Structure 1
Amino acid sequence: MELIWFVLFAILLAGYFALEGFDLGVGLLLPVLGRTREGRDRMVAAIAPYVLANEVWLVAVAGTLFGVYPLLEGEVLFTLYPLVVAMLLCWVLRDAGLWFRRRLDGARWRGFWDAMIAFGSLGLSFGWGMAIYAAATGFESPAVHPLGMLLGAVVTMVFAFHGWTFLAWRAPGTFGASRSVAALAVSALVAALPALGVLVGAMPYLLEHSAPPATLNVLSVMALPCAPIMLGAQIWVWRTFRPGKDAFRLPSFF
């Protein structure tokens, strides 16, 4: 049972990096590719149908962490408390920017919330790199470490590339390039590699520190039946909002 839950946790974390990675990547590219108001609207519109569905994976990751690895959850919150708080604030700012940017029509209002989307995306991307470095070292390194910051920069660049690939697939030619779904799948795999690498290295530790078998059995009965629903909803979103399905009828969030 410990191995089954480890595999499920790995799928959830890698899935979050692969899916939310392009959302964050588009946010990172907003000041670069969105040089006009219309361009920024189209970039946000491209990710709009996917954001909430992708964030469900993070909720599932957190739930699995709390239930299956309670000792690890305590170490994360204690050792990385400043980093976790900073990432939560960036998450709030990014999502607030997505929802508030069209509430008023002024240029300053739009510009401020567009900046919050970019800033929040940068903080989350960089923070994830620092967090997975800390996890790779067994949470023995400080929250701010030079190698952790280097990995944060790498994850940020990988997410930015993934976001660019997503835009090239979702809106071919609109932002200067066109990419196939196969290219998007490859960039998703690249975005998930940091998380997968850490999990492979941490596998013995995670298996050793899993919750008791009785707890895992209860979690299996409660949580595993929800997995097909979550996967089915994700497939429905991608089929419904694939390229050519009136992708930009709504220029942004409402």
Structure 2
Amino acid sequence: MILDYETLKLIWWLLMGVLLIGFALTDGFDMGVGILLPFIGHTDEERRIMINTVGPHWEGNQVWLVTAGGALFAAWPLVYAMAFSGFYLAMMLTLFALFLRPVGFDYRSKLDNSRWRSSWDWGLFVGSVVPPIIFGVAFGNLLLGVPFYFDDMMRPNYTGGFLQLLNPFALLSGVVSLLMIVMHGSVWLQIRTLDSLEWRATQVAKASSVALLIAFALAGLWVSFGMDGYVVSAMPAANSSFTPDMKEVTTQVGGWLLNYQQYPWMILAPAFAFLGMIGVYLFSHLSRPGMAFISSAVTLTGIILTAGFSMFPFVMPSSDAVNHSLTMWDATSSLLTLKIMFWVAIVMVPIIICYSFWTYRRMWRRIDVNFIRGNQHSTY
């Protein structure tokens, strides 16, 4: 099988999307459970039920995030370098928040003490709520453009600051991301719990789906009429990597919508996102949690694809020097690196997906108070 350089660049753009969607679909619901833990779990036993719905899987789910980070470093080194320069403090906050998750899961039930367990519940909340907000804020800033440029020796220079990231549109994007995760986690609890806990999760799913629909629509209107989008007006004849300053880029209001005019099929992404939100509300109301979960997965997939399709081919636009914006064509690694990574992914990603499905199938059951009481020392 012979793959040319341009095809491999496109394949790795698609694979990065697959990794981000896999992370959102799997780690999304266990983070959603962590966010809801202090609020809809009214007793210690109910909170243990919630934790144990994700207990066998949360560590494996986080592998998607690690894999996405590794793939970003290997496939788009310029983007990785600039992201860790510009978003360094935000990434450190995310990392330190994630530290609370493993210790929270492992230490919470070590002592039968209400203050001890409540403290770890809030630790799990912080470790679950901070990452989705920061990821959403980061994506919002990507759509606005990141303040960086390359000097004459192609050294990246970031000119912004942490507080600059907290602009109104980025905060709205953070709200969209948070609502996605809350909705996904609440739908997960619908299919894994019983009685009053299931009922409360259903109410949260209905409310969060409506709130997400409104927030996503507002973000879409803002992108359409309230900000400049980036457009590649001219590419160099030799479209090689590590030459982000060789192209010509312009900005215009509604520029992020041009791909939907050129490729009309892309409109399916936001359409499915909205249909998924409506499906979550209707199926939750009709007590069809399985269909509600599928609808939630469609919503998350649609929102992530909407962001990717809107920005294509940009990966990290520059607000300081628009011609230095990074795209999937000029920010990638060498041909040999992409080829090696491609074959590794072809072998390993299907194995990971199949193994993940097998583990969920083997450990699938609804968890109730009787399960917790009968397994006091073997559950979280």
- What is the Cα deviation at residue 221 of structure 1? 3.1
Of the candidates 205, 213, 220, which is equivalent to residue 335 of structure 2? 213
The residue aligned with 1:27 is 34
- What is the Cα deviation at residue 244 of structure 1? 4.9
Contact 1:21 1:191 in 2 (8 A): no
Q: Indicate the SS of the match to 2:66.
A: helix
2-structure distance, mates of 1:21, 1:245:
19
Structure 2 CA distance for partners of 1:102 and 1:220, relative to 1, 3 Å? same
2-structure distance, mates of 1:166, 1:111:
22
Contact 2:27 2:58 in 1 (8 A): yes
Structure 2 CA distance for partners of 1:189 and 1:78, relative to 1, 3 Å? same
- What is the Cα deviation at residue 51 of structure 1? 0.5
The residue aligned with 1:64 is 71
TM-score, length-scaled by structure 1: 0.91
Of the candidates 278, 281, 294, which is equivalent to residue 185 of structure 1? 294
Contact 2:19 2:67 in 1 (8 A): yes
1:242 is aligned with what amino acid?
A: W
1:196 and 2:296 aligned: no
2-structure distance, mates of 1:151, 1:212:
33
Higher relative contact order (CA 8 A, sep 6+): 1
Larger helix percent: 1
Runs (4+) of structure 1 exceeding 6 A deviation are none
1:171 and 2:292 aligned: no
- What is the Cα deviation at residue 21 of structure 1? 1.1
2-structure distance, mates of 1:200, 1:112:
41
Q: Which digits, 9 at most, give the CA deviation of each residue in 1:73-111, with x for residues without a partner? A: 111101111110001111111232111101222111111
1:147 and 2:205 aligned: no
The residue aligned with 1:161 is 183
Contact 1:104 1:110 in 2 (8 A): yes
Contact 2:192 2:367 in 1 (8 A): no
- What is the Cα deviation at residue 245 of structure 1? 8.5
1:137 and 2:144 aligned: yes
1:236 and 2:358 aligned: yes
1:38 is aligned with what amino acid?
A: E
Q: Trace 1:44-63 onto structure 2 (pairs within 5 A).
A: 44-63=51-70
Structure 2 CA distance for partners of 1:230 and 1:151, relative to 1, 3 Å? same
2:198 is aligned with what amino acid?
A: F
After TM superposition, the structure 1 stretch with the greater mean CA deviation from structure 2, 240-249 or 23-32, is 240-249
Structure 2 CA distance for partners of 1:244 and 1:163, relative to 1, 3 Å? closer
- Provide the identity percentage: 30
Measured on the aligned residues, the alpha-carbon RMSD in Å equals: 2.2
Q: Which digits, 9 at most, give the CA deviation of each residue in 1:107-138, with x for residues without a partner? A: 11111101101122111121111121123334
Contact 2:136 2:174 in 1 (8 A): yes
Structure 2 CA distance for partners of 1:202 and 1:182, relative to 1, 3 Å? same
Contact 1:87 1:123 in 2 (8 A): yes
Bigger Rg over Cα: 2
Q: Indicate the SS of the match to 1:105.
A: coil
Contact 2:53 2:367 in 1 (8 A): no
1-structure distance, mates of 2:116, 2:10:
49
Q: Which digits, 9 at most, give the CA deviation of each residue in 1:180-227, with x for residues without a partner? A: 322101112223444322222333124212222121012223343111
After TM superposition, the structure 1 stretch with the greater mean CA deviation from structure 2, 117-126 or 204-213, is 204-213
Q: Which digits, 9 at most, give the CA deviation of each residue in 1:155-181, with x for residues without a partner? A: 112211111110001124442144432
Contact 1:83 1:143 in 2 (8 A): no
TM-score, length-scaled by structure 2: 0.62
Contact 1:18 1:189 in 2 (8 A): no
2-structure distance, mates of 1:218, 1:111:
47
- What is the Cα deviation at residue 56 of structure 1? 1.1
The residue aligned with 1:86 is 93
Q: Please list every run of 5 or more consecutive structure 1 residues that lacks an aligned counterpart in the other structure.
A: none
How many pairs does the alignment contain? Answer: 254
Contact 2:37 2:125 in 1 (8 A): yes
1:30 is aligned with what amino acid?
A: L
